[in-house]
Amino acid sequence: MTALTWSSAPICFVRAIVCPYCGSDRHTIVRSNRETDRSITRRCVCRTCSKRFLVVIEVQPPDRGSVVFPAE
């Protein structure tokens, strides 16, 4: 069996964090890093199958073109 490294872990682009191996939503975030493009990279370990994976959260800039006021 080969040793698992973070560089070989898959990167997931999803709305909810789930394990790409078993589909479980039970995970532990080991480390979070803020990147220069304002995205956040999280290293996670699945609590069900114990495999490691990366999650990239892309921060969308706010839409400054329109203002919405609540109706009274």
Measured in residues, the chain has a length of 72
The pLDDT of residue 13 is: 60
d(CA 41, CA 32): 6
| Amino acid occupying residue 37 | D
Asked whether the beta carbons of 28 and 37 are under 8 A apart, the reply is no
Domain spans in the chain, listed from the N-terminal domain onward? 8-57
pLDDT tens-digit readout, 1-59: 566 676 766 665 656 788 989 999 899 999 999 888 878 888 999 999 999 999 888 76
The pLDDT of residue 27 is: 92
DSSP state, residue 55? E
Instruction: State the pTM of this model.
Output: 0.60
Please return the burial class of 51, using the count of CB atoms within 10 Å of its CB with bins 0-12, 13-18 and 19+. middle
Question: How many other C-beta atoms are found inside a 10 Å radius of the C-beta of residue 57?
Answer: 15
